[in-house]
Amino acid sequence: MRAGALVAAGAFASALTMAASGIAAAEPATDITVDGTYVVNVDIKPGIYIGDGSPDPANGGCFWRRLWKIQTAQDYPDPNYYIIASDFVRTKPVTVEIKATDVGFSTVNCGAWHLTPAQPNTGSAG
C-alpha cells in the first residue's frame, strides 16, 4: 500500500509541476506604445521612461499621470484624487520616473515611451 501511495503522490506532484509551469506570467513591458492606463509591476516595469512627446504639440499636448490607485466606477468620482504626480507638456521629449510603489501610469497623446537603462551608481551624492 505504501508503494502505491508514493507512486500516486509522485504522479500528482509531477502533474502539478507541469500544470504550474504552463501558467507563467509575462514579464512587465519596458515600452508603452499606445495611450491608456497601465498597472505598474504587472503591465509595465517601474523606472525612468522617455516619451516621444505629442505628435502635434500645436493641436494638443502630452498628458501623463502617476497613480496611487486606478479608479473604478465605485470609487470617489474625482479622477484627480488618485494622482501622485502629473504633467501636461508640449515639449519633446518627455521624461517621467514611474516608481515601484506607484499603482498605475496613464498616458494620453504622448507617443511611445521607452524605459531607459539604469544609471550606474557612482557612489557620489552629486
Residue 66 resides in a domain: yes
Residue 100 resides in a domain: yes
Measured CA to CA, the distance from residue 91 to residue 88 in angstroms comes to: 9
pLDDT for position 16: 40
Asked if 72 and 59 count as a contact pair (C-beta separation under 8 A), the reply is: no
Place of cell 521624461: 95
Indicate the number of domains in the chain.
1
pLDDT for position 124: 67
Which of 14-18, 42-46, 51-55, 60-64 comes out lowest in average pLDDT? 14-18
Measured CA to CA, the distance from residue 104 to residue 85 in angstroms comes to: 11
3-state class of 61 per DSSP?
coil
Flag whether the pTM goes above 0.75: no
Give the helix ranges, DSSP H, for the chain.
Answer: 2-21
Place of cell 491608456: 36
pLDDT for position 55: 84
Which domain, by its residues, includes 63?
31-115
Residue 109 resides in a domain: yes
Asked if 40 and 70 count as a contact pair (C-beta separation under 8 A), the reply is: no
Residue 107 resides in a domain: yes
Residue 62 resides in a domain: yes
Measured CA to CA, the distance from residue 101 to residue 87 in angstroms comes to: 19
Residue 120 resides in a domain: no
Residue 110 resides in a domain: yes
Question: What does DSSP assign to residue 9?
Answer: H
pLDDT for position 2: 47
Residue 93 resides in a domain: yes
